[in-house]
Amino acid sequence: MVTKLQFFRAVGIVLCGSLIVGLALLPCLDQARAGDLEDLLQQVGEEYAVGYSSPFLYAFGPAMNSGLYQTADIPLSRLTISIGVKGMAAQIDDGDQTFQRVLEGVDLGAFDPAFAGQTGTVVMSGPTLFGDEKTEGTITGYVNGLAVFEETTIPGLVDTKFVPMAAPEVSVGGIAGLRAIVRWLPEIDLGDYGKFKYSGFGGQWNTGQVLKNLPFDAMVGFSTQKLEITGLLEVNATSYYAAVSRGFSLLTLYAGGAIEDSDMSVTYVYNDTGESITFSRDGVQDSRLTLGATLNLGLKINAEVAKGKMTTFAGGVAFGF
């Protein structure tokens, strides 16, 4: 039986863990202060902004869909509560640190008024928001293969191949083999990076009620989550998954597969025209395989790696009874 004192001590440890994870993310956020994302986007048109900002979705969509479970064992008739913090991260490829977009048969006047009415090819290239902060992008216009104009654009926001995030997580389950999970962060002002909000929920079900006498625990689940930089962008991520696990004394090994998707919408005002620009993008990852382990030392500590089109990592610490 867990006493109240033990419970509140454990909650304190979990909250301290949340603080430690948050402090670990500060270097990344400090780097982001090299430029304000909204201010950077406001300097370019929609076509450029799509290429520049899409890696934000490619990274955060899969990261949000990580760390959704650490065991498939859900009691059928015993109430369980878990409070913890999860850290998730996506590893982006070199190709997501730069981009190139080629527009053929376009009116060059949309990019340089001196060539209004003249049709040609426009090549946009440069760092993405996760690219080199000291290198500016370019927009180059071509007529019959010859460059007729070139203008510089914006640099990267934060030069990184590793995109982390963290959030508190609460789960309640044990009734009819069901478990509900909630992740939530209030609006946080990250200075030049913008105001950040994050929330999500999901459910899981113990399939042992149907698939009996298995040598392991099995469950299915779903999750839906939303991340916002207020007034600028919103990322939504969903996941439908199945997982199995087996306990060995203090250690539980687990594995799972998921079908998932994510999307992003961006809204900003283009300074050159005063036009309000809105566009949306779909994520690149639609499935994953996950392998992980959980160590139960009173506090449950887990770590996992998942592979889809992106490689993601997740880990957490939780107290439960």
pLDDT digits (tens, 9 = 90+) for 97-109: 999 999 999 999 9
pLDDT reading at 240 higher than 90: yes
Which position has the higher pLDDT, 227 or 190?
Answer: 227
Distance CA 29, CA 187 (A): 15
pLDDT reading at 306 higher than 60: yes
pLDDT reading at 4 higher than 50: no
Distance CA 194, CA 161 (A): 21
Q: Kindly report, residue by residue over 36-95, the tens digit of the pLDDT.
A: 889 999 999 999 999 999 999 999 999 999 999 999 999 988 899 999 999 999 999 889
* Residue 141 CB burial class (10 angstroms; 0-12, 13-18, ≥19): buried
pLDDT reading at 133 higher than 50: yes
CA dist list (Å): 33 to 28, 61, 168, 232, 288: 9, 22, 25, 16, 33
Which position has the higher pLDDT, 231 or 131?
Answer: 131
* Average per-residue pLDDT for the chain: 88
What pLDDT is recorded for position 43?
95
What's the full length of the chain, in residues?
Answer: 321
Distance CA 50, CA 35 (A): 18
What pLDDT is recorded for position 189?
78
pLDDT reading at 10 higher than 50: no
Task: Show the tokens assigned to 208.
Answer: 């042992």
Q: pTM of the prediction?
A: 0.85
List the 138-143 sheet strands across, edge first: 98-107, 119-127, 138-143, 146-152
pLDDT reading at 120 higher than 90: yes
What pLDDT is recorded for position 16?
43
Mean pLDDT check: name the lowest of 14-23, 77-86, 215-224, 281-290. Answer: 14-23
Task: Show the tokens assigned to 86.
Answer: 């999860």
What pLDDT is recorded for position 288?
98
pLDDT reading at 19 higher than 60: no
Pick from 232, 204, 185, 160: nearest CA to 64: 185
Question: Helices (DSSP H) in 232-292: which residue ranges?
Answer: none
pLDDT reading at 20 higher than 80: no
Which position has the higher pLDDT, 287 or 15?
Answer: 287
Per-domain residue ranges of the chain: 4-92+160-320, 96-152
pLDDT reading at 181 higher than 90: yes
What pLDDT is recorded for position 190?
64
What pLDDT is recorded for position 260?
98
What pLDDT is recorded for position 191?
62
Residue 213's pLDDT band (cuts 50, 70, 90): confident
What pLDDT is recorded for position 89?
95
What pLDDT is recorded for position 1?
44
CA dist list (Å): 212 to 122, 203, 242: 61, 21, 16
Rg (CA), the chain: 23
Q: Kindly report, residue by residue over 250-279, the tens digit of the pLDDT.
A: 999 999 999 999 999 999 999 999 999 999
> Can you state the percent helix, strand and coil of the chain, rounding each to 5?
20, 55, 25
Q: Kindly report, residue by residue over 149-172, the tens digit of the pLDDT.
A: 999 999 999 999 999 999 999 999
What pLDDT is recorded for position 194?
66
What pLDDT is recorded for position 188?
80
| Cα end-to-end distance, the chain, whole Å | 9
Task: Calculate mean pLDDT across residues 217-225.
Answer: 97
